[in-house]
Structure formats: structure tokens, C-alpha cells
A and B are shown apart, each in its own frame.
Chain A
Amino acid sequence: MSIEIPKDKWPGAVQTVTLGATAEQGGTRTKVVTIGGEQTLPFMHFESETPNRPVIAMEMSSSRPGGWSQVLQDTWGDVLDDPAKWAQACEQAGAELIVLMFGLTDADDNPITPDFAVQTVKAVLEATGLPLVVLGPGQVDIDNAILVPIADATKGERLVLGLCEEGNYRTIVAAAMANDHLVLGRTPMDVNLAKQLNILMTDMGLPRDRIIMDPTTGALGYGIEYGYSVMERLRLAALQGDAMTQLPLMVNPGFESWKTKESKVGEGVPDAWGDWAERGVHWETVTAVSLIEAGADVVVLRHPDSLTRVKESIDELMAAEPV
């Protein structure tokens, strides 16, 4: 007996967005990354081809990050003190994209300056040929003070600049528009706010193929189901044809999972929890793969072993035969 599998035909599609630019395209990247373009829910290959694989980005910092789990510190070792080496290590580990986070201070605890920020971005761009996402520390004045000169100094690279939030997007969007960059918009786990920010940013004249949205999520056991629902609703709306929800999604399972007690704490926990390092990697991997199933186009990770495992999962998900 043959069974006919019902297929949905959606009127809308996710916007295709390309990160990074090669020398030919006006940048210096040796590789670019293209995301989005989906015309169906994740991995429904029998309904429509998935034009672009989900992408794994690795997160790194402008200086040794305070508060990172000892597991991560031991894994990366000394490269944590050198952004250029760290970026290379991320690339060697298999990252397809680098996310460079600026903290409020440099390695000597001095407040970061625009000069320091520009030099750090240039060093990372020289060390790796991967496309780059650059995120300020998340304080409006400092973000604007560093992101504008970074945008100017790297014109044409198609960096992703952020974070754009509802109270702070104009300066970053203007800097991105003037210098052929992209922006990352973040909203706190709310479909209405996510859409609103997209409307505001495109109202400034920023083309839709230069916006990525971060709807915010939670780690496994820490609100992932809320993040999942928001992503799912945004993706469904996109497929139904709502232009202001049709932007690719980038989420941070690394950040979210490595701040949980299970990943961060090795002592004074039940033996049944098992090996600390293994647990942390599991937590990050399961969180990331779940979010990929929800529709993430980019997942940002912290541990190289998680990267390997998530990549294997993506291979399997992408390998499923169309019916």
C-alpha cells in the first residue's frame, strides 16, 4: 500500500543573506557564507530543497573573557589572550564564521577605545579568511563609539555589526549602510518585538538582505522551549509571506548553555551528573541542534567538540533524501 505524504506549498521564503566579501566583491575574505532562502520548515526536504546549510559560528572575545567555564578555558588555553590566534584556532576547529565579542575593558582592565577596537578587528581579519560578526559590549554609548570606526575601517567587508536593539539601532544601521556591512538585530524572545525592529531598520532604507535577526533563546532546561516557539512562529510567518519576519535567524546556544550550572560548575554536584567537560559539551550540542531544528540559520558555539558534533548532526539532517 502506498502512502501519500501531504506536502505544504508555502507562499513565502526566507531572505537569502551573504556574509563577508571576497577581494572580487570588495572585501578581503577568502570564504563567504550564504544563509537563508528556505521555502519550508527546517529539513522538510520532501517539500522543498534547503538551499543553504545551517552555519556554525564560533564565539571569541577581544580579550580573555571573564566568567567563562573552566572547561572552556582549559580547552582553548593560551589563545584566549590573543584574538588573532584565537580566530585561527576557531577556523582550524571547523568554524564557518567568527563572532568577535568586545568586552567593556581590554586585557589590562582599561576601558576599550575605538583605536583598540579597530586594531583588534583588523588583526582578526588578517588572521582568518572567514566572514566576521562584530558585537559591541552592549552599552549604547560604547557600542556606537567602537562600531562606527570599525565600520569605516573595514568598508566593503560585509561584516555583521551589532547589537541593534530597539533603543539603539539608528547609528549602527547608518554605519552599516554607509560601508556595505550587515547588521544583527536582537529582541528579547518576543515575535512582536522582533518584527517591529525589522520594520524600524528597513524603514531607514537598509535592504533586507543585510539584516540577520537574533530572537534570543534559552539553553536546554533554561527556557529553550520559549525560544523555540518564538523561532517557529517567526519561521511560519515568514513562510506565510510576512516580509518583515523573513530574515535569517542567528542564535547563541554557546552563550546560553555555558552559563548554566550544569556546564559551569564542576564541583559539589551529584556524581550522577557525570564527567563535567562531557556534560558541558552535551548541553551545548543538544541546545544547538534543537535550535537548528527550530529554524536557526546560524548557531554560535563556544566549544570545538560541540562544533564537531553539531556539524555531524547537520550533515545527517541535510543528507535526508527528498521524496
Chain B
Amino acid sequence: MYIIGENIHIMADKVKAGIKERDAGFFQKLAVAQVEAGAQALDINLGPRKKDWEEIFPWMVKTVEAVTDVPLVLDSTNLLGIEAGLKVITKAQPIINSMSAEEERLESVPLIAKKYNAKIVALTMAKSGIPVSADERVGLVIEKLIPRALEIDFPVEDLIIDPLVLTVSGCQEYAPELIEAVRTLQVVWDPPPAISVGLSNVSNAVPDENRSLINRVYCAMLMGVGLQMIIADPFDEPQNEVIRVIEKRDDSTPVGKLYLTISDRVAAMEEPSIDDVDMSDPEQAAIWKTVQILLNKVIYADSYLQQ
């Protein structure tokens, strides 16, 4: 699993404070720690920075590149800021996060990416919003995102399709469709485009104590359909353990075996079965309940584990 570390994100208070004080040491420590925890690239989400983009994007790129060699993912709606950052990249091939099938982004982002030899995270989102169904999301890739790359001779292998994970708390019907979108995207083009998702989005607006569980159960299900890249928290040890268990096919513990079974069931287009689960083990019961909400079989509620 290729993990893009998500922790340099403007929504985090410490990141906000670090930017305000131009605390290079803070960001360098956070970057190194993420890479040491297993991140193979680093997402840098600074927000739009409408007033100081000209200074802040290059500053952040230089700050982080001073301590690590991994690719940087410049994550902003402000394309000027992204370009300012791209200009000072000296190490790995960078990634722009993101473009979508909305006309303006579709037009402008690939041109900038081509100019600076960057990859692009391309969202399956149109002006009308994010389609629920897997087919419609895949349709945007075939009809809009890839054709635009071909049109300007941008390498399709430098497109990273993000079929958009939405929260199970409020957008529950999207959760199983996303799994199918990931499955289908791997057969719609030759060579298949890279696929990445923002894993923790699945638990946005979920109480903190349940977020990691929902993230890692969804991760196991998505690995079943072949997902190989996520934007995620590399410090989430239980999540990393699930990734290891599935990659190594380690069924030596009952919980590990359950994760592997869930992943295999999804891979085989079967529904995970309660017969796979030892419901007397609270951890397995919680995993089972989480599978049920992620497949939209049982309506999500904040206290779904208490039901």
C-alpha cells in the first residue's frame, strides 16, 4: 500500500499555528515522522492562502524538501499557489491535488501539470456534484478526465484517479458504490490508471472514538478490490496493521483472519457473512457492525456500535 501522509493539513490547529509562525522545524519533524511511519509521499494541504500564496507555497516546499526526498502532493484549490510551489520542487516528481471534471479545472490543471512534469489527482466530480453510482463516476473518468489528458498529450499514467470517499455519516449510500468504482476503474483503460482515495473521509463527522475502526475496515474492503494507494494518517497503527495483515495474508490471529476474510469476500464480489465472525469477541462484533454500515445494510448512527 502506497500511503500519502495526510497530516500536514490546514484543518489541524497545530498546522495552522505552525504556518502562522513559519515554524519550519515543526513541519520538518512532522514530515520526517510521517515518512518514518511508512508514508511514501506527503500531502501538503495549506488551503487557498489567498493573501500569501506567493510566499507560503514555496516556503513549505523548500522546508519539507530540506528533510525528505519523497514526492510532495500539493493540495489546494489555489492553482497559482500550487504553481508557485511546483517552481521550487527539486526532488521527486510532484503531484497536484486536484483537478475534477468541472470545466475550469479540467482546462487549467493539466496544462500546469504538464509544464512542471507533475502527476495529477483527478476527482470524479462534475459541476453537478459527485455522482452516487459507481458507473457514473467511472463514466466521468472515461468521458472527461482521460480524454482531457490525451487531448494535451499528458501521460495517462501520470493521472491518479480519486473516485472520492464520502462520509458514512450522511452520505452512506456512496460507501458501497465507491468500492465498486475502485473495482471497475482498474479495467476501463489500458494501462489502468492509478487510483487513490482519501481514506479518512469515510469517517468525517463520526465521533473520534470510532473513526480509526471505520477507516481500517473500509481499508480492508478497498484492498479487496485492489486499491494500492491511499491518502491517510500514517501514524494510525491499527490501520497499518490491517494493511500488513492483508498484504502478507497473515491469518495467525482471529481478528487478522477476519479482516483477511472480509477483504477476500469483497474481492470475490461476495457479501461478508456473519458466519465469518465470532460475535462473542467484542472486537470482531464491532468490525462486523462496521462492515454492515459501510455496505449500507444498516443505517449509520453515531452509537451504531451500541446497537
Contact = CB atoms under 8 A, between A and B. Distances in A.
Contacts of A192: 169-170, 172, 299-302
A199 B303 contact: yes
A243 B307 contact: yes
B152 interface: no
A51 B291 CA distance: 34
A29 interface: no
B306 interface: yes
A245 B301 CA distance: 11
Contact of B301 (A196, A233, A240): A196
B298 interface: yes
A234 B298 CA distance: 10
A82 interface: no
Interface of B is mostly: loop
Contact of A237 (B169, B170, B298, B302): B298
B172 A199 contact: no
Nearest to B292: A242
Interface in B209-260: none
Nearest to A195: B301
A203 B303 contact: yes
B148 to A, nearest CB: 35
Interface in A37-58: none
A233 B306 contact: no
Given A237-B298, A242-B298, A196 B303 contact: yes
A196 B302 contact: yes
A200 B299 contact: no
B299 A195 contact: yes
Contacts of B307: 199, 243-244
A233 B299 contact: yes
A198 B169 CA distance: 16
Interface string B273-307: 00000000000000000000000011111111011
Given A192-B169, A192-B172, A200 B303 contact: yes
Contacts, number: 37
B303 A191 contact: no
Given A192-B169, A192-B170, A192-B172, A203 B301 contact: no
Contacts of B303: 196, 199-200, 203
A216 to B, nearest CB: 16
Contacts of A198: 301
Contacts of B170: 190, 192
Interface string A176-196: 000000000000001111011
A240 B172 CA distance: 16
Interface in A198-212: 198-200, 203
A199 B170 CA distance: 17
Contact of B306 (A190, A191, A199, A240): A199
Nearest to A193: B301
Contacts of A242: 298-299
A277 B155 CA distance: 67
Nearest to B302: A196
Nearest to B293: A192
A193 B169 CA distance: 9
Nearest to B305: A199
Interface string B104-134: 0000000000000000000000000000000
Nearest to A190: B170
Nearest to A199: B303
Please provide the 8 A-B residue pairs with the shortest distance between their CB atoms, ordered closest to farther: A196-B301, A195-B301, A199-B303, A237-B299, A196-B302, A195-B299, A192-B300, A191-B299
9 contacts: A192-B170, A192-B301, A196-B303, A199-B306, A203-B306, A237-B299, A240-B297, A242-B298, A242-B299
Interface of A: 190-193, 195-196, 198-200, 203, 233-234, 237, 240, 242-245
Given A192-B170, A203-B303, A240-B297, 9 more contacts: A191-B299, A192-B302, A195-B299, A199-B307, A200-B303, A242-B298, A242-B299, A243-B307, A244-B299
